[in-house]
Structure 1
Amino acid sequence: MTGRRSFPEESAVGVGGFVREDTPTAEVDRREAVMASLTGTVRELIDATIRTTVDDDEVHRIRDGLAALVARLRTAQLPGPAGIRYNAELRSWNWGNAVMGAANAIAPPLRVQHDSSVCHADVVLGAAYEGPPGLVHGGVSAMLLDHIMGEAASAMRRTAFTGTLTMRYRRGTPLGPLHLEASIVREEGRKIFVAGSISDAGGATVEADGVFIQPVGTPAGGGR
């Protein structure tokens, strides 16, 4: 296909959705920036679609124009889920992820920072994440906390999956700027106990406790 960049699934060897690709890190970074620019525009499209009041004829014209763009994007695409890809330098990319994927316009996206024993992130949630009027959907709050708490549990490149997640909704979480934090409370064998929260300018709106499990074969308690 003319103009297609080299991210060839046919050369990759994958296990359980983790796919090894021999793509240099510099090229991954370059392509990620290109995809993020497209995704940002699609994210704006989602917000504009939710809040538009243009007339029906204009909606139909826009729909037809978008259908043509979708057809162009589908001329070269992965055959299934994006999965998690990585190269020999252990640079990984997970562009389809629902929370932080660079190519996923549903993702806010969340950019998690690791600061000593605490993971934190600042995010702005708009109309696409609304549940009750003016407030973040409770399921979105759970999704974001599950992700950042999983990041805390999976520090030092170990793998950990969500076992249980207990949410406490202290009050409504307003749309707009929010702060997320997560940290490990303790570890027992393959179980990692993590606490997390979402806050606005007035303090915590949602708190959570989670138990994350290291798969069998992973050294218990290792990596921290």
Structure 2
Amino acid sequence: MLLPRLEKGNVSCETCKATRKVLEKIEKEAEHCGKIIKYLVDFSRPIVLQKEKVDLNALLEESLSLMDFYVDDRRKIELSLAEDLPPVLVDSTRIKQVFMNLAKNAFEAMEEKGGVLTITTQLRVLVPKFSFAKDARGVKEPSPFIEVVFADTGKGIPKEKLSRIFEPFFTTKSQGAGLGLSICYGIVRAHRGFMEVDSVEGKGTQFRVLLPVKDDGDVQASA
């Protein structure tokens, strides 16, 4: 926060009301600038991971529990989580950041018309040269990954913008730093994982996050 919170007291005179509106607008813009500064700081720092073995389904549900205020009669979440997934070695704070960012983007994409965010998890095996994940075709041997898919029925992303979606400072929003997805992509790659997006304008968007079950360094993490 760059400005203190405004007190929401009763205001009687029109001048005070107008002044309050101006101050609230300034506060909103200051908060936006603060977020941009935070993104810039995060983006400029090397990603240092504090890894621990976690149940990815449990981590996902914990992340979504913090997003309840987005869910209403028009926007819903449906979960389809695979049972008996092996634990993964990840930085839980960082991966939670990825999950929350993807969920937030999905809810914002469904803000106008509503819709459903469907989140699925499953165990997948990436095979060298024939992987279904484009970025993962450099794996050296068949490798188990946990796939987490965020699929929304929102407004979608224009085809001409899709290839740039993970670029720093690129955004499809009217307000935004354009660093959220770029940071998420960097976090996933730092875990030797992969992240992909598919979208159809007017129908919805699907993000896929793949995190390795084995943390043996077989997959290169460079972006």
Structure number with greater CO (CA < 8 Å, separation at least 6) is 2
Q: Which has the higher strand share?
A: 1
Same topology, TM > 0.5: no
